[in-house]
Structure 1
């Protein structure tokens, strides 16, 4: 597989080394980085608040916009409260480090590195195997306090993760479930993400962390949880000592509910259309814009037809390449038909 340096912005069409290609990769699922109306709001935010805000969140002079954005985000994604940080990595690390001690943390397979506290976790096998093993370990242990850490879904080999097993955790246990929804927020559950799809029980404290830089198009991170959890996390030095994301982006985010809804509806229609037209060799899940194909030569064949898809070796540089088609709302039905005819 040959790698390329882009010399044009991401959109449905890109330039690779000066040559135009139809592009089916990346994570801008809702096309927000190039959306003209969103950019108008962003520019308005820049005029109101400037390019950035270099003060920490415990400074005695604060932009009220940050509290407003967190309340707005909590309502949008169905949580009691939210914390917004400068990146998804910071949101994940802040949360994991606050709640974790090595002897009581159980990592699901393929958990994103942003959630690691040290070396790569040793988890292997499928998510369902991990869920069963974790449930048995928790219920059969004298230890009461546990932390479960997982992605919300598998975006490489598309798979929804089923968290219903937490309903079987025995009374008296105190479990914190930390879920990274970076690829689901803005997409799953009509854009609300995974938070309201996870069962709520008395034994389990559910906390969702996510990068807002994918479907939502913002250079920011978010944590969703109860008022108690968010208040505790806001007392951490990692939060208090870090500069917040640009206020302009959060301003645009709060003005763009209709934009997100419209783009999500476009994307869902494209996903359904493409799914109907492909054969069973493709692995995909309903309502998610990633389609995996096992043929390692797919990338090269499509490149010959001036179509670029996501392709990289996984889990290490010597592995077979993962070839995936990633749809975005900036694609058109004509783009999809061009792809279909070239497969």
Structure 2
């Protein structure tokens, strides 16, 4: 009975053209799918650092509170310096960071205001918390204020949670306005800077992009799996926040710590990001892509980030397969990752791409959709 029920549900998914399957990564195609924005996952110095970290063993063998606290505090100190905060704390993944931070800090009697297009890990963290959740319209400050005006007096604490850079659209949250509103309403801002770190603000992220200084009511979340090229997540903030999470955050307390070799690799990635040349090269590539994609009428406005949504609706998967047959991997993104009707090819560029790569992609997309 259980098997037949699952089969029926899978058939429904297939009929709705929402079926997903695993696709083996190929090295013989031009890849526009990766979040490895600075190409650090294969950087020789990072790989050597990972090898050196294997001296500690393959895994960390336990949680951070038992046998798993090895070289992790070194990276945490460096991340805190990098983000200009008092403390940082590592988690095994970016997903576990969001669910662990939000569910620990936001309690019954609190109010969360969450951007409509926030990442699934933020949504799940909000669901796991015991706080009430209100959704404000995407990057819409007026919508945010209207909810606060109506609801603020009913709650103990206010949390405004947003991506820094939105993973499917590549746009940037209006953090200047959000911080001002948080100050006015005595709220706390939690910003997931997964796609901003290493990309904006000379690599330091979205706060630096807006020249905002970290403060007591800003909590920054990041990942080591995108611009850093590795795996893991982290949170940066004031001393009390980090100490509280060490003692209450379930996805931190009850997870095996990151393998120390990956921590060593991330330390080297951070060093390379701080040198600045990779982030500068990425911004040069973004400017080149903007110019070329505009010429092929693929975008209307220049992007500041390496994420380009090509909205195609029902044709998305057809176009993605066409690109693949012509040697380019640019994945189609469907519901529920994006709203129905806004299915898109998500183009993600990196420092390894060349102008001729953007030309090739632009030409193929133009031939296919014009």
What range is the shorter-chain TM-score in?
A: 0.7 to 0.9
In the other structure, the counterpart of 1:189 is 201
In the other structure, the counterpart of 2:255 is 242
TM-aligned CA distance change 1:95 to 1:198, over 3 Å? farther
In the other structure, the counterpart of 1:72 is 78
SS where residue 94 of structure 1 aligns?
Answer: helix
1:100 aligned onto 2:106: yes
1:136 aligned onto 2:145: no
Distance 1:208 1:326 in 2: 23
Match of 1:112 among 109, 116, 119: 119
TM-aligned CA distance change 1:57 to 1:324, over 3 Å? closer
Distance 1:287 1:198 in 2: 16
TM-aligned CA distance change 1:193 to 1:285, over 3 Å? farther
In the other structure, the counterpart of 2:91 is 85
In the other structure, the counterpart of 1:11 is none
Aligned residue pair count? 329
Distance 2:214 2:80 in 1: 20
TM-aligned CA distance change 1:269 to 1:4, over 3 Å? farther
Q: Is contact 1:159–1:284 with CA below 8 Å preserved after alignment?
A: no
1:62, distance to aligned residue in structure 2 (A): 4.2
Match of 1:42 among 33, 39, 50: 50
SS where residue 127 of structure 1 aligns?
Answer: coil
1:336 aligned onto 2:358: yes
- Which protein is richer in strand relative to its size? 1
1:275 aligned onto 2:290: yes
Distance 1:201 1:235 in 2: 23
Distance 2:348 2:192 in 1: 20
In the other structure, the counterpart of 1:59 is 66
1:163, distance to aligned residue in structure 2 (A): 2.2
Distance 2:337 2:242 in 1: 36
SS where residue 221 of structure 2 aligns?
Answer: strand
Distance 2:198 2:214 in 1: 24
TM-aligned CA distance change 1:55 to 1:66, over 3 Å? same
TM-aligned CA distance change 1:137 to 1:26, over 3 Å? farther
Q: Is contact 1:158–1:283 with CA below 8 Å preserved after alignment?
A: no
For residues 104-131 of structure 1, give each alpha carbon's deviation from its aligned partner in whole angstroms, at most 9, with x where no partner exists: 2222212222122428966263321433
In the other structure, the counterpart of 1:31 is 39
In the other structure, the counterpart of 1:233 is 245
- After superposition, residues 197-212 of structure 1 pair within 5 angstroms as 197=210, 199=212, 205-212=217-224
Q: What TM-score results when the alignment is normalised by the length of structure 2?
A: 0.78
SS where residue 105 of structure 1 aligns?
Answer: strand
In the other structure, the counterpart of 2:310 is 293
Q: Is contact 1:158–1:290 with CA below 8 Å preserved after alignment?
A: yes
In the other structure, the counterpart of 1:305 is 326
For residues 176-199 of structure 1, give each alpha carbon's deviation from its aligned partner in whole angstroms, at most 9, with x where no partner exists: 211111111221211111244474
Distance 1:183 1:330 in 2: 17
- Which protein is richer in helix relative to its size? 2
Q: Is contact 1:167–1:199 with CA below 8 Å preserved after alignment?
A: no
Please, which moves more after superposition, 89-98 or 306-315? Answer: 306-315
1:176 aligned onto 2:188: yes
1:303, distance to aligned residue in structure 2 (A): 3.4
Distance 1:185 1:154 in 2: 12
CA RMSD of aligned residues (A): 3.0
Please, which moves more after superposition, 22-31 or 114-123? Answer: 114-123
Match of 2:30 among 11, 22, 28: 22
For residues 253-293 of structure 1, give each alpha carbon's deviation from its aligned partner in whole angstroms, at most 9, with x where no partner exists: 22344533333232221111111122254156543101122
Q: Is contact 1:210–1:221 with CA below 8 Å preserved after alignment?
A: yes
1:59, distance to aligned residue in structure 2 (A): 2.6
Match of 1:253 among 266, 284, 293: 266
TM-aligned CA distance change 1:209 to 1:316, over 3 Å? closer
